[in-house]
Structure 1
Amino acid sequence: MASVKEKILKATFDCIAEKGSASVSLRDISNKAQVSLSQIHYYFSGKEGLLVEATTELMKAEIHALRKYLEDIRDPLDRIEKTIEYVWVRNTNQFPLFKVYFDLLCSAMWNPILAEQTKLLQDQLVNAILDEELSLGVAHPTLARFILTFTDGFGLQLLQGTSQEKLEDTFLMFKKIVKQYVQAAEDEKV
């Protein structure tokens, strides 16, 4: 059985995916989670804190799912390719995490608290790409940010309705560029 905090986080995610963060109230979330408003205030520091924590928890779950997806693939180049494909599939299947994530990024443009929190969240994503446990073979923060920038832009274009066919060539080019960069880095080590 889910804890109260878990119920609130799931309700937050569901409400944002349905309405967007600007239209969601704490009352909407409390109704969806079937908890009192005071319980939300007990666990979270206002709406901003709740939004950031909900998105962060979803990202952690995605990183965990990605690790599981990659567990039988040993070659770093193959792992990068499969990671990019994983993001492609999740984006093209309209996985609601991306709606929530982009909603949070857009809200951060006008809210300094969210801006700082989303910067931390993106730093966590870069660190996940660099993480030896993920074993993508990405050792340079610039390449990690390039991967994040591509996946962000890619997801945004899909959310805006750009067809998969139009994005497929861009996706294939990105995979090729990243693989070439990693291969060049490997060649320099030898």
Structure 2
Amino acid sequence: MNNEMEKANQSQKILLAAFECISSKGYANVSLRDIADEAGVVLSQLNYYYKNKEGLFTEVINMMMQKYLQEVESHLSKGTTAKEKILSLIMYFQEMLDENPKLFRLLYDFTSMALWSASFGKLLRSLFEDLANLIEKHVLNNIPAKSNLRGYTPKSIARMLFGAMFGTAIQVILDPQEKKLPEALRAIELVFE
């Protein structure tokens, strides 16, 4: 039992070190040796637990996706109206950009890689689909029929909302000195007026 816990701890330690390295330096700039050094393990342990760099990154992505989806759903559950719920999500994006931009950097690195890798592409499609489903479920299912959103499917609107937030967030990361970009996130609430 103790040996199993130690193995789980080693695996988790490697995973957290990989998250830290990749989100700080980018996937292309990190070697398995960098990750092993950060985790305080020998290189062969990374291969033992994750086979190769892609296998390790896949697990980092899965960890990030699970955390991200839980946090998004938690924020979408706040408030009673669609506008309150989307404002809560916007506030989450703003907080993440201010306090934890590494998660966004990792997500953008992952997005870039998904364009060239079928396995990463499948994971990213799943993440985007899950995010759109959460927005649809928590925000758009309660929109009145007379809303200015009629004529569009809830799925289309959910994808547009997420795309606007995702695109604005990368602009904030690329130009952190531009103080008006976070305001652009808040402009999304105009959809609900």
TM-score, normalised relative to structure 1: 0.77
Is 1:171 the counterpart of 2:185 in the alignment? yes
Partners of 1:118 and 1:142 in 2: CA distance: 17
Q: 1:136 to 1:49 in 2, by over 3 A?
A: farther
Pairing partner for 2:10 from 4, 7, 25: 4
Within 5 A, what are the aligned runs for 1:59-78?
59-69=65-75, 73-78=79-84
For residue 78 of structure 1, report the CA deviation from its aligned partner.
0.9
Per-residue CA deviation, residues 21-70 of structure 1 (Å, 9 max, x unaligned), is 00111121122122333332333353223223213312322332344456
Pairing partner for 2:26 from 6, 20, 37: 20
Partners of 1:72 and 1:169 in 2: CA distance: 21
1:152 maps to: 166
Structure 1: segments with no counterpart, 5+ residues: 181-190
Per-residue CA deviation, residues 62-117 of structure 1 (Å, 9 max, x unaligned), is 33234445655333331121111211221244521001111111223333332333
Partners of 1:33 and 1:71 in 2: CA distance: 36
For residue 141 of structure 1, report the CA deviation from its aligned partner.
1.5
2:55 maps to: 49
Aligned residues between the structures: 176
- Check the 8 A contact 1:125/1:148 in 2, yes or no: yes
- Check the 8 A contact 1:51/1:104 in 2, yes or no: no
Q: 1:28 to 1:171 in 2, by over 3 A?
A: same
1:39 maps to: 45
SS in 2 for 1:35: coil
Partners of 1:158 and 1:97 in 2: CA distance: 13
RMSD across aligned positions (CA)? 2.6
Structure 2: segments with no counterpart, 5+ residues: 142-152
> Identity, % of aligned pairs?
28
2:139 maps to: 136
For residue 161 of structure 1, report the CA deviation from its aligned partner.
1.0
Partners of 2:122 and 2:78 in 1: CA distance: 36
Q: Which shifted more, 70-79 or 103-112?
A: 70-79
